[in-house]
Every structure is written in structure tokens, then in C-alpha cells.
Amino acid sequence: MADPLAPALGVCYYPEHWPEEGWGREATRMADLGLRWVRVGEFAWSRLEPEPGRLAFDWLDRAIDTLAAAGLQVVLGTPTATPPKWLVDRYPEILPVGRDGRVRGFGSRRHVCFSSPAYRDETRRIVTLLAERYGGHPGVGAWQTDNEYGCHDTVRCYCPRCRSAFQDWLQQRYGTVEALNEAWWTVFWSQEVRDFGEIELPGQAVTESNPSHSLDFYRFASDQVVRYNRLQVDILRARSERPILHNTMGFFDHYDAFALAEGLDALAWDAYPLGMLEESPLPAAVKERYLRVGHPDLIGFNHDLLRGLKDRPFWVMEMQPGAVNWAKTNPLPADGAVRLWAHQAFAHGAEVVSYFRWRAALGAQELMHAGLELHDGRPAPASAEVRRVAAELAPVGGARPRVALLLDYEDLWATELQPHAEGWSYWGLQLAFYGVLRGLGVDVAVTHPDRDLTAFPLVVAPSLHLMDEARAQRLRRYVEGGGRLLLGPRSGAKTRSNLAQAPAPGPLRSLSGVRVDRVDALRPGVAGAVELADTVFGFTTWADLLDVDDASEPGAAQVLARYREPAYGGAAALTRRAVGKGACLTLGAWGDADLLSAVLRPLLAEAGVATTALPGGVRRSRVGRGALLNFGADDAAVDGVQVPGHGVTFLDPPE
């Protein structure tokens, strides 16, 4: 049982955008609405330091004091996502360079290179000044480092400084250029290098770059972000006892969020359910169905990932209160959607839900984005729903999920570098398994494969692509101890340096009892067939053709399902091997929802995890405040409990 939570609401506020004489009235309205947290400052560098060395913190002093006087706690953001023009002019080398070699200039945000020594020095200076001034301020309850690292494709920079830093990173990783040449298999196409200084950045060659080269560059770029965040955290930690957070984005994958989370007290994410739906690859019919409420699993998956990054409550730092401005199309939410989204977050274990933004901006790039107040300061429609949510909040405990879904950003990078199938998507495969589990009413913990998994009777690994002996042995110990492990397509296909296992699944072979010599990548729109327990199911996109090792020997893997494709020669699609007290299953196909359900249901029953087939659009979560959440327009019932359309029904705490 988790510790009881006292969930709270907040909002993002920009006092520098509005006349100071109105700050007090706005703070009073925030508190009256039921808000308790206010994020400020994350884009305010030009107002905090209008000229080099001329500090103007007095307005921020008054803003924080005004908010605190109304009973509000401030999340103070460091302003490093938006360096002012004078700083760029003084240090033009801080500007990032795109893959095309062009400098990305001033005029928006995130115009910085994480490898820039000058920018790190300027970051150290401004964050230290903020920390020394506000580290013990009673009105500051938490810190946010920077804002949305990597948005607008800004993690991977292609400047000369990044090339030099990447070369140093590689030398530390491999030690010798001979080891690098072997790890990357540079003998192919005469890519061998004689020293680390010869190594270029990937992505700028005539055709595709060596995938091992690219994978290491992705690792390097992620490490630069983590290192930069650690710089800020260390400064704040030395001068303040307040918790430190960073706000990431839904499905953002240009850095390893597990690595970033290690230095923080909690993670936050910026949840825009309708914008995320519009930008997703979901079919048009699905987008139409969830047009004004968003898809429950797109949102829920990110909640569970954020909770899983540190296995603790998370924050939603920015929640959509109306139409956004940045998607291809930007519909209004349905009545009740804003309330539904808040309670979904709390049901998945959120500690704070904070809305973006308080008052709609009068100008610049985000003037079309809704706020809790309209452009003229009158309450927006969402305000009434937020007031209702605030009245419904209550301290609650939650149940720990008993099913884990394994995610590794390096697996994502490697498969996306060589998708091999047009429809391949690491996120898509994760969501396929996640959606089936959620549709069965099962709470899911999204976690890293190298974490301790013993608390989970069932572990689902949609695609453990990069595999070494150490990881395979950890998984084997989990299974031997009584766990059930389900491996999905492309598991164990590559080494950690992104070379082919010979044969696949490499070190997983002794655990799974199967060998993969052939794979099939299907064209979009083409489906195959799998026969399981006298029933035929469909699959798309990918198929590992499974051969059972020593099928006649005791302890060999059992074939539970076979492909019906003539080209596959009767290859197995699903196998099971008993290992110690547990079992390892391998599913070679990207199964449709019916196939995944047919595979998962008996495993859940074996694991003692109760299931309930939920109506379409309805989800149940008990990690935070237990709730049934209906993303459908029509009323529904689950086990005799009614849940209104676009509404919420709270459940009693689990025993």
C-alpha cells in the first residue's frame, strides 16, 4: 500500500506578462478556484537580467510574495530554456546546429547547445543567483530545472563542439579505436578510423549512417542532457531543501528519461490530451471518436511511465485547459473533459496537476492557446471544472501494480534506426500491449528492464532488442524465482553495440528455448494469421519465426501457436518454456488486440491478477485514487457500477 497522497492543483503563471497592479487580484482568484501551486519564472531571463550583469529580481520578489500572501506555493523555474538576445550576441557559440549544418538562431526558445562550455558557465551563474536568493524563501515550495529539455528537436546538435565532445565520449567508452572499430563493424564500406579525431557526427553522410555509430551518438546526446540537468540540480541542492523537478513531454524519446530522473526528486510531464491525439499516428476513425477527450491510453501510458521513472508519485506540470495552439488542428475539449483528465492523472498516482496557463496570452507564438482565464481576464469554461475537481480532491492511498511493462530508450533508438518495416514503431508496440492490459482493467507499471522485478508476478517485455549476458541473467533469475516473462518481437536481436546476435535471441536463447533465423516485415495494410488454441488471430508489421531448440528434450520450449503463412514453413509464433519456478513465453508476432488478449489472459490468471473486460473507452485505475474513467460519450457500467459519459466514478480504496 502506498503512502496516502494529498493531491493538489496548480497553474502556470507569467507575472512578467501582466500589469503588476493586477497580480494580487489574480492570486486571490487562483486561490479561490482551489489552486495551491503556481509555476513562475521559467522563461523570464530577459526580465531578470535585462543587460549583462544588471540584475532585476525585484519584480520576481514581489510576485512570489504576492502569490504567497494568497496562500499559494511557487514552483520556481530556472530560465535557461530562453537565453536573452544579449547573451546570444556575446556568445554566439551557444546556438545549436541542425543536422543540415545550419545554425539555429535566436527568435523562439531552446536555442542552446548542451555541449557549449559558455552556456554551461552562464547557466551556472544564473541558477546560482536564483538559488542563493530564493533557496530558503518560504513562498518557494519547489524548483523546476529549465523547461522541456529537447523540445523542437534540440537534443541532438551537430556543431563542432558536439563533434569534439562526442569523440571524447567515445574514447572514454571504448578506450581504443580498435575496440570502437570492432563494436561498430566499421570494416563494412571501409568505415574504419585510425583515431578518435577522425570520427564525424552521424546523419550527414550520402546515405544512412552506420547504425552503431548513430546509436552511440544518441547515447552521447542523451548523456549531455543528463549532465546539464545535473549541473543545475547540484547548484539548487546545495542551496535549497525544496524538491527539484523537471517537466518532460509525452512520448519524448531523444534522451533517456530514466537517467534524467536519477538526479531529481520527482518527474513531471506536460499533458495535452487533444494535441497529443491530433499528432498521433492513430487511425482517423479513432481520432474522430476521441476528438474532444483524447485517447485514454495515450494519456494513461505517459502517466504510468512518469510514475515508473522513479517509482513514486509524479506531477503534471502543464495540463491542457482548452484548445492548444501547436497541433495540426486544435479542437475544443468536450464538457467534462478537463475534469476527467485531472482525475485520470490522480488515479494513476499524480501528486499535483497544474494547468497551462492561467490567462491566455495576448501575443506571440502561443496567443491561440487557451488558459483558465480568457484574454481579457474573464473565467474560461474550464474554470468551473477545475473548481469542481478541487472540491473533489481527497487524501487517498493506492495499490501497487502487479504487472510490469518494460521500456528501454536504447531499445527504442536501435529499432527506430533500423525499423525494417514501414509500420514499425517502438511506442506503437508498447501501446498495443498496454492498451490490452488496460482494457482488461489491469494497473500497469512502466519500468526499466534492469530494475528489480521480483514484486511483479507478470512482466511484459514488448521488445527487449539490445541484449547482453548481464541483462539476460537478471531476467533468468526473475523467472527462476517464479516470475512469468512475456517477450515480444525483436527481443534479443542485437548486441549492446547494435550488431546482430548470431543467432538471435543471443543470451536470451537459454531462457526462452528458441532461435530466430528469419524475420518477416509486413507492408502496412497486410495482415498475417496465427493459430492459437484452435482459434485464428491476426498480426501485422512484424513476425519473428521461432524455432524451438531441442524440441524433443525434456525442458524444451512448448509451441503454443504457429503461423499459418505458407512462406513461414510452419514456424512457431508463440512458445513457452518452464524455467525454475516460473516461465518464459516468446511471442514473435506483433499481434492484434485479440491475439494479445488471448496470450495475456491466461498469464494474468496464473499470476493471480484479476481482470474485467471494460467497455470501449472506459478505464480503471487504483494506483492513486481509485476511479472508473469514461472517455466515451455514452454512460457505461462496470460490474454494476455506473460511470457517466465523459465522467468519473470514484472507487473505494483497495483493501
Q: How confident is the model at residue 399 (pLDDT cuts 50, 70, 90)?
A: confident
Does the structure show a pLDDT above 70 at 4? no
> What confidence score (pLDDT) does residue 395 get?
77
> What confidence score (pLDDT) does residue 652 get?
82
Q: List, for residues 463-487, the tens digit of each pLDDT value.
A: 999 999 999 999 999 999 999 999 9
CA distances 538 to 178, 421, 542, 591, 613, Å, are 46, 17, 11, 6, 20
Same domain? 387 vs 418: no
600 phi and psi, to 5 degrees?
-80, -35
Rounded Cα gap, residues 436 and 441, in angstroms:
9
Paired sense of beta strands 514-521 and 535-548, if any: antiparallel
Rounded Cα gap, residues 555 and 370, in angstroms:
61
Question: What integer is the mean pLDDT of 413-425?
Answer: 97
CA distances 222 to 93, 104, 216, 309, Å, are 20, 19, 10, 16
Q: How confident is the model at residue 1 (pLDDT cuts 50, 70, 90)?
A: very low
> What confidence score (pLDDT) does residue 52 get?
96
Same domain? 363 vs 425: no
**Which one of 42, 49, 122, 318 is the catalytic residue?**
318
Q: How confident is the model at residue 381 (pLDDT cuts 50, 70, 90)?
A: very high
> What confidence score (pLDDT) does residue 550 get?
81
> Per the structure, how many domains does the chain have?
3
Question: What integer is the mean pLDDT of 509-522?
Answer: 97
Q: Looking at the domain assignment, is residue 440 inside a domain?
A: yes
Instruction: Tell me, rounded to whole angstroms, the distance of Cα 529 from its chain centroid.
Output: 32
Same domain? 332 vs 479: no
Q: How confident is the model at residue 554 (pLDDT cuts 50, 70, 90)?
A: confident
> What confidence score (pLDDT) does residue 2 get?
36
> What confidence score (pLDDT) does residue 5 get?
60
Q: List, for residues 319-363, the tens digit of each pLDDT value.
A: 999 999 989 999 999 999 999 999 999 999 999 999 999 999 999
Domain boundary among 329, 360, 392: 392
Question: What integer is the mean pLDDT of 160-177?
Answer: 98
Does the structure show a pLDDT above 90 at 528? yes
Q: List, for residues 591-616, the tens digit of each pLDDT value.
A: 999 999 999 999 999 999 999 999 99
Copy the grid coordinates of residue 11.
497553474
Does the structure show a pLDDT above 50 at 3? no
Range of the domain at 464: 403-606
Same domain? 286 vs 414: no
Q: Looking at the domain assignment, is residue 538 inside a domain?
A: yes
**Residues with Cβ within 8 Å of residue 128, at least 6 apart in sequence:** 235, 239
Same domain? 347 vs 425: no
Same domain? 417 vs 541: yes
Q: What whole-number percentage of the chain has pLDDT above 70?
A: 99
Question: What integer is the mean pLDDT of 630-646?
Answer: 97
Does the structure show a pLDDT above 90 at 249? yes
Q: What angle do CA 10, 11, 17 make, to 5 degrees?
A: 155
148 in active site: yes
Same domain? 457 vs 386: no
Amino acid identity at 86: W
Q: Looking at the domain assignment, is residue 285 inside a domain?
A: yes
Domain boundary among 329, 363, 392: 392
Does the structure show a pLDDT above 80 at 552? no
Question: What integer is the mean pLDDT of 249-257?
Answer: 98
> What confidence score (pLDDT) does residue 6 get?
82
**Which one of 49, 148, 351, 565 is the catalytic residue?**
148
Q: List, for residues 76-125, the tens digit of each pLDDT value.
A: 999 999 999 999 999 999 999 999 999 999 999 999 999 999 999 999 99
> What confidence score (pLDDT) does residue 135 get?
98
Same domain? 69 vs 94: yes
Q: How confident is the model at residue 654 (pLDDT cuts 50, 70, 90)?
A: low
Q: 375-386: b or e for each residue (b if 16 or more CB lie within 10 Å)?
A: eeeeebebbebb
318 in active site: yes
Question: What integer is the mean pLDDT of 47-62?
Answer: 97
**Terminal CA-CA length for the chain:** 9
Rounded Cα gap, residues 539 and 590, in angstroms:
5
Same domain? 384 vs 516: no
